[in-house]
């Protein structure tokens, strides 16, 4: 059964914890991808981060979040098996591996690889999966021995109508915000030196 309160909580974290960081990051020329780590126990936030590829092209939202996580004092961290990993966008091959190597048994995301290509003009996730791993879209194993992944949109699509309509309206508000962040990134990207911008 889908935990609706968790979906609301993850959308809250995107809106209130990730998006403000991403607004700053995009202002500095970075992409709009963000991520967060929450405790499974009470859904409290451990930390939220955003893409920082202008510093290092490996600092995707997810990897940058994990870098900052391991810079925290150990006492303030959570065992990754007791944590939820949230990504605004379906993780790329680099980030799928990073989430795996750091021991999470789950991740949730809002926008799909196809959204990244079609709505956000970032085709690299799907292109790398095809060129390097010979995978078609949807070709990686979304549930495997390491983790199970969840598309928030797909979870919402399967809810009873009233909750589905309410949450789809919430997601539309967030998607509109990301459309404007995307326009800002695309307007400025000729000026950055990110290898795959």
Catalog residues that contact Zn ion under the rule CB under 5 A. Answer: 60, 92, 94-95
The answer to whether residues 50 and 75 touch, using CB atoms and an 8 Å cutoff, is: no
The structure tokens listed for 169 are: 């309206």
Q: Output the smallest distance, CB 114 to Zn ion, in A.
A: 15
Q: Output the smallest distance, CB 95 to Zn ion, in A.
A: 3
Q: Which of 127, 125, 136, 137 shows the shortest CA–CA distance to 97? A: 125
Query: 9 or 31: whose CB is closer to Zn ion?
Result: 31
Q: Output the smallest distance, CB 134 to Zn ion, in A.
A: 19
Query: 38 or 92: whose CB is closer to Zn ion?
Result: 92
Q: Output the smallest distance, CB 167 to Zn ion, in A.
A: 25
The answer to whether residues 17 and 48 touch, using CB atoms and an 8 Å cutoff, is: yes
β-bridge partners, 60 = none
Query: 4 or 94: whose CB is closer to Zn ion?
Result: 94
Query: 9 or 64: whose CB is closer to Zn ion?
Result: 64
Query: 17 or 62: whose CB is closer to Zn ion?
Result: 62
Cα angle 102-106-107, degrees, rounded to a multiple of 5? 95
Q: Output the smallest distance, CB 32 to Zn ion, in A.
A: 12
Q: Output the smallest distance, CB 96 to Zn ion, in A.
A: 8
Angle at which helices 161-188 and 19-27 pack, to 10 degrees?
20
Cα angle 190-196-197, degrees, rounded to a multiple of 5? 35
Give the separation between CA 19 and CA 16, rounded to whole angstroms.
6
The structure tokens listed for 126 are: 């799907």
Q: Which of 164, 160, 142, 141 shows the shortest CA–CA distance to 151? A: 142
Query: 48 or 167: whose CB is closer to Zn ion?
Result: 48
């Amino acid at each position: 059964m889908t935990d609706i309160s968790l979906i609301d909580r993850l959308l809250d974290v995107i809106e209130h914890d990730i998006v403000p960081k991403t607004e700053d990051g995009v202002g500095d020329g970075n992409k709009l991808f963000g991520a967060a780590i929450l405790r499974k126990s009470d859904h409290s936030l451990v930390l939220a981060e955003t893409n920082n590829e202008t510093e290092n092209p490996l600092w995707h939202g997810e990897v940058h979040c994990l870098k900052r996580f391991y810079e925290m004092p150990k006492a303030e961290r959570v065992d990754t098996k007791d944590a939820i990993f949230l990504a605004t966008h379906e993780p790329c091959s680099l980030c799928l591996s990073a989430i795996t190597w750091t021991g999470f048994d789950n991740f949730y995301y809002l926008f799909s690889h196809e959204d990244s290509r079609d709505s956000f003009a970032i085709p690299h996730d799907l292109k790398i999966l095809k060129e390097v791993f010979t995978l078609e879209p949807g070709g990686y194993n979304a549930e495997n021995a390491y983790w199970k992944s969840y598309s928030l949109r797909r979870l919402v699509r399967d809810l009873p109508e009233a909750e589905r309509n309410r949450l789809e309206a919430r997601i539309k508000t967030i998607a509109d915000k990301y459309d404007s962040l995307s326009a800002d990134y695309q307007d400025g990207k000729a000026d950055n030196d990110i290898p795959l911008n």
